[in-house]
Structure 1
Amino acid sequence: MNYSIKLFTALGIIGLLMGGVTPASAQQAEGEWISLFDGRTLNNWQASENPETFSVEDGLIKVDGPRAHLFYNGPVNDSIGYTTWDNGNDFKNFEFMADVKTTEGSNSGIYFHTEYQEEGWPEKGYEVQVNNTHDDPRKTASLYAIKDVMNDAPARDGEWFTMYIKVEDRDITIKVDGETMIEYTEPEEVDREGRVLDSGTFALQGHDPESVVYYKNIKVKPID
């Protein structure tokens, strides 16, 4: 390897380390944001019953089609004690962010502490609603059917907004563009099958054929 190649390689490594978010395969340090979407493919994601609902378009995940869910199943941060399971990494405490853009009348959602299932609405985990103008009165940032943002959405169709979700022990915080919309502490004893804090992966929802929604900059920061 000549000097110029060594220099180019070194500069490339420095550039990778200085980036704010790096791919899961290159990132193992606790306390740093880890990208879950490479902007080109759906590698490390697994779609359920109607996989054609999800595609990559211009660096975005496009959701457009019949009901389906896209589950993250890639390896992340095994070195700090997060257990890899058959369909991905088992997140418990974390911060999660994604940029989202809805279209008129669309409905979607972001699940956490969930697990892959072949069809139907996910039975495990919580859903954070993505809905600005769909006729469901539970709007964007609702912790769906647990603690809801009713009727007035905190974001607009056709405009990008940032969804932030934090789970730490029994506390859930949901923000839109930095504004806190939901703070919820799960009771120690709750009789609600499936809809309880546990651990699991993330999933994006394709709600119905009339709902077109876009996602980008999907990332997570595990909390020890």
Structure 2
Amino acid sequence: MKPFHTIFYINVVLSCSVAIQASTDFVSIFDGKSLNGWTGDPRFWRVEDGAIVGQTTAKNPTKENTFLIWEGAEPADFELKVDFKISNHNSGIQYRSFPIEGKPWVVGGYQADLSADNKWTGAAYGEKYKNLLAKRGEKTVVGATEKDRQVAAQLGDGEEILSHINKDGWDTYHIIARGNQCIQMINGVITAEFSESEKDRLKNGVIALQLHAGPPMEVRFRNIMLRTLEPEAKKEILFLAGKKSHGYNAHEHKAGCHLLARSLNESGLDVIAQVTTEGTWPEPWIGYEKPDAIVMYCDGLKGHIANKHQERIQMLVDSGIGVSCLHFAVEVVPEDLGPQFLDWIGGYFEIGWSVNPHWTAEFEFFPDHPITNGVKPFSIRDEWYYHMRFQPDMENVTPILTALPPLRSLTSRSKDKDRGSNPAVMAEVEAGIPQVVAWAYDRPEGGRGFGFTGGHFHQNWKNDDFRKLVLNALVWTAQAEVPESGVNSRTPSERDMELNQDYPKPDQKTN
């Protein structure tokens, strides 16, 4: 199997035999009164109180796993929402599944797992197909066999995810299957995510509900809602995370990208995010298959991702895709990428002109722009770069975050003429001119750019307004609609903040 960071998440129109038309809205595939449109062993399935009930007893067991199969379609790319409640044992929701020849009401394929003891709830399983796909809390890439499975990232702590699940009541599974990427959520929290890297992966199939062999059990399903997806139905945001950099809790490109991508995927908006790591471009490169926006969070200068992939990025920019650069990624060698960055995002950090001190910026006022929707005034200490090189006269550039740095942010580093201070920036700060540390750019020929100079300290992503502003910007660059309240996301826990960091805590050998 190829390493995860070489996997290109491909946006393709997949051919399949379906009986339902693609819809922008969710439609019910269970009428709440009968099993019309579904087929299963009548000994085990019934409708009661507006729910599908699957039940086995000591006197009426099933010898093997049996399924209630929806006959309406074999969807490829879709979203599925199902309320569930289980009493005893194990069950699951099958998708992109296939019938097992010679065995009525038996299927194999992807399964969103659930169990009464919650041991397997939230995991992704391959029923009669590769077995475990992703444990609760894992993001994986699955290859040709069940042994060919790579954990690409941790999306959450498995036990902490359970705190969002109502063990004794109703919960809601939300499954998104798009291209080779499958995301499973319960009550709005991602529990597992996986991608299949093989060409002969499961691309479409039936939806079914499982009743597991074994001890007597009962499982209930209701409010079964399906939304099929066309390629343009969700905006695609691709994170390009750089290599290891500064050490624990600083320049944590991989951890930061996965945290932001998870927030976007949980947002309920029509966006979907993927992450590639180690400063590489997803392969294979296919020019007409492209995301709607890319995000570069990486080291700059000669180590910048864009140095190696300039031609590919330019192709995307020419086609109108959005480009965002976070923290060090706004800094380039001017003679190598300066003009390109003015074209892509409207500005960049230039050694000898721009400065990069650590200081506490106070953001009290914001422009009327979608990127600032729902963002409240906040202050936060970061390595805020300022005195950027922008388009002449700031044409098509909108300052998003501005603040007046303390003069000591320059005087304390006056000996560093490259990054610490220079006469031009000193004169501006002494004159009380606020400095731009985040900006939006509307390209004249189409497409959008965003530059954000914060993001040195990984812990800053825990600040809700800091994080919301960046999430808003990423959605805006993809030309999706930013909600009036902004892109809401749950505040990461301390355990969340430790996930996927490149370096262990100083007093620990491992994360």
State the TM-score, normalizing by the size of structure 1: 0.70
AA matched with 1:203: A
Structure 1 residues 170 and 28, CA gap change in structure 2 (3 angstroms): closer
C-alpha distance in 2, partners of 1:95/1:36?
12
Map of 1:211 onto structure 2: 217
CA contact (8 A) 2:69 2:105 kept: no
Matches within 5 A, 1:67-82: 67-74=65-72
Matches within 5 A, 1:1-224: 30-47=23-40, 50-65=41-56, 66=62, 67-74=65-72, 89-103=73-87, 105-117=88-100, 118-119=103-104, 121-123=106-108, 125-133=109-117, 137=119, 139-144=120-125, 145-149=132-136, 152=159, 154=162, 155-188=165-198, 196-208=201-213, 209-224=215-230
Q: CA deviation at 1:71?
A: 0.5
C-alpha distance in 1, partners of 2:49/2:81?
20
Residue segments in structure 2 that go unaligned for 5+ positions in a row? 1-18, 57-61, 126-131, 138-157, 231-511
Q: CA deviation at 1:172?
A: 0.5
C-alpha distance in 1, partners of 2:21/2:75?
14
State the TM-score, normalizing by the size of structure 2: 0.32
C-alpha distance in 2, partners of 1:100/1:62?
10
CA contact (8 A) 1:101 1:213 kept: yes
CA contact (8 A) 1:46 1:70 kept: yes
AA matched with 1:177: N
Structure 1 residues 73 and 172, CA gap change in structure 2 (3 angstroms): same
Q: CA deviation at 1:216?
A: 0.2
C-alpha distance in 1, partners of 2:106/2:32?
26
CA contact (8 A) 1:71 1:115 kept: no
3-state SS of the aligned residue for 1:55? strand
CA contact (8 A) 1:99 1:216 kept: yes
AA matched with 2:45: F
- Structure with greater strand share of residues: 1
AA matched with 1:127: Q
C-alpha distance in 2, partners of 1:41/1:216?
12
RMSD over aligned Cα atoms: 2.4
CA contact (8 A) 2:22 2:228 kept: no
AA matched with 2:96: H
3-state SS of the aligned residue for 1:52? coil
C-alpha distance in 2, partners of 1:119/1:126?
18
Structure 1 residues 120 and 45, CA gap change in structure 2 (3 angstroms): closer
C-alpha distance in 2, partners of 1:73/1:34?
15
1:139-195 C-alpha deviation (Å, 9 max, x unpaired): 1111111111287473343210000000110001100000011121211357xxxxx
C-alpha distance in 1, partners of 2:32/2:199?
41
C-alpha distance in 2, partners of 1:68/1:28?
28
CA contact (8 A) 1:174 1:180 kept: yes
C-alpha distance in 2, partners of 1:162/1:141?
11
AA matched with 2:36: N
CA contact (8 A) 2:22 2:229 kept: no
AA matched with 2:208: A
Q: CA deviation at 1:132?
A: 3.6
AA matched with 1:101: K
Map of 1:85 onto structure 2: none
C-alpha distance in 2, partners of 1:119/1:130?
23
- Structure with greater helix share of residues: 2
| Larger Rg belongs to | 2
C-alpha distance in 2, partners of 1:120/1:147?
25
What is the aligned residue count? 173
C-alpha distance in 1, partners of 2:225/2:123?
20
3-state SS of the aligned residue for 1:41? coil
Q: Which has the higher contact order (CA 8 A, sep 6+)?
A: 1
C-alpha distance in 1, partners of 2:225/2:35?
14
